[in-house]
Amino acid sequence: MEQLKVWIVDDDNDYCHLMREVLQEDYDVRLFLDADSYSKAMVAAKPDIILMDINLPDVSGIELCKSLQTHGIDSAVIFVSGMNTLEERLKAYEAGGVDFIAKPFELKELMAKTNAVANYQHKKRALAEAESFSRNMAFQSMNESSQYGAVLQFFRQCFLCQDYQALADAFFALMMQLDLKTCLEIRVDETLYFVPEHMAISPIEANIFELLDHQGRLFDFGSRTICNDKHVSFLIKNMPLQDEVLYGRLRDVIAVVVEGLEARIIDIQRQQTLQRVVTDIRRLLAGLSDSIHESDEQFCHALSNITTEIRASFHVLDMTEEQESFFTGLVERNLREANSASNSFLRLQTSLKSVVAVLERNTA
């Protein structure tokens, strides 16, 4: 363990050297015979323990001790004084001193009290370090919680996105919360590039996507990382390499984010495909309806003409009543079958409309 710094501030030269001789084996000791030299040394260094005479020739040791607290200096002061009165001890305590040694003193007392204060300093600093570590861990946990909350919000937002631009906007909002600068590539029927604020992608970034969008899930180069899936890649331009903990956590986060993007892109593709199918079936229905109507009219007109011509030729053909009834029944039966065929087309049209309704519900 590194030696603690002990400064002795006393105008009595003999006492100064005596205390240094006792303490120098265990501590890094410096001597000051006046407040001025001590104050100048405080500019460049800070002691752990100060053995302070109360009655200095230029400034009171009480005032020097109070100035330590004013400036937030973590030095433990042991007052050393020849005036061993209750009033003097109370002044020392109020000034912030941690102990008091009355002159003349036993060398064992000097060593024991200095060691006790040294242990006190060690424990206080260890506690401060533990508190700082706990506080940093708490802040880190809060940051992680905030990041994961932002990712969950992004996934919820994803399900509301009906096109790739809306999905890209939700992605860039998340990246802004994570303090990451990014651009995005989506590979569907064509390759689409997205940049924050709807700017155009630079040629070199498009080229980087072309070269690296099949280099595995995560690929690092310099301070940049590209994250890939089958239909999507995004480039992070400012990965925090200097902070290993944050860097590792962000790699975990973006690996999850790219999976969410991939799933939503596939879903948007499915919805767009269904919408095209719905449009095609609607167009088919419109054409089928017109065709049925036109065919129905033509067929009925043709049969009607045949019936009229047959009935008009009965007297010319000189048929018997049985023959006339036979031909009349034959025509009427074919007319019924024609109507039945027309009804079949109408039922097909109704079925196709039902299919359209189901598809529309799935694309809503």
Q: Which two tokens stand for residue 198?
A: 């709807």
State residue 46 phi and psi, 5-degree precision: -130, 125
pLDDT along the chain (364 residues), means of 10: 86 90 92 90 90 87 87 87 86 88 89 91 81 57 65 87 92 90 93 90 90 88 90 92 84 89 92 80 72 68 69 64 70 63 62 66 59
Shared domain check, 329 and 260: no
Q: Residue 188's closest CA among 137, 264, 295, 127?
A: 264
Q: Residue 76's closest CA among 10, 124, 44?
A: 124
Residue-level pLDDT at 138: 46
The CATH number covering residue 252 comes to 3.30.450.40
Show the domain range for 321. Answer: 271-363
Asked which of 245, 266, 287 is the last residue of a domain, the reply is 266
In 75-168, at which residue ranges do the beta strands (DSSP E only) sit?
Answer: 76-81, 99-102
Shared domain check, 109 and 43: yes
Asked which of 250, 266, 282 is the last residue of a domain, the reply is 266
Residue-level pLDDT at 141: 52
Residues 6+ apart with CB under 8 A from 93: 100
Asked which of 133, 155, 171 is the last residue of a domain, the reply is 133
CA distances from 327 to 172, 182, 298, 301, 309 (A): 79, 83, 22, 18, 12
Shared domain check, 162 and 91: no
Shared domain check, 15 and 87: yes
Shared domain check, 159 and 237: yes
Shared domain check, 108 and 59: yes
d(CA 219, CA 241): 14
CB-hemisphere CA count at 13 Å for 35?
14
Shared domain check, 106 and 11: yes
Residue-level pLDDT at 113: 92
Shared domain check, 336 and 238: no
Secondary structure of the chain: what % helix, strand, coil (to 5)?
A: 65, 15, 20
Shared domain check, 197 and 172: yes
Residue-level pLDDT at 182: 93
- Supply the pTM of this predicted model: 0.49
Residue-level pLDDT at 8: 93
d(CA 121, CA 184): 54
Shared domain check, 160 and 126: no
Q: CB–CB of 234/192 below 8 Å?
A: no
Shared domain check, 258 and 285: no
Residue-level pLDDT at 346: 63
CB-hemisphere CA count at 13 Å for 80?
25
The CATH number covering residue 32 comes to 3.40.50.2300
Q: What is the number of domains present in the chain?
A: 3
Shared domain check, 146 and 119: no
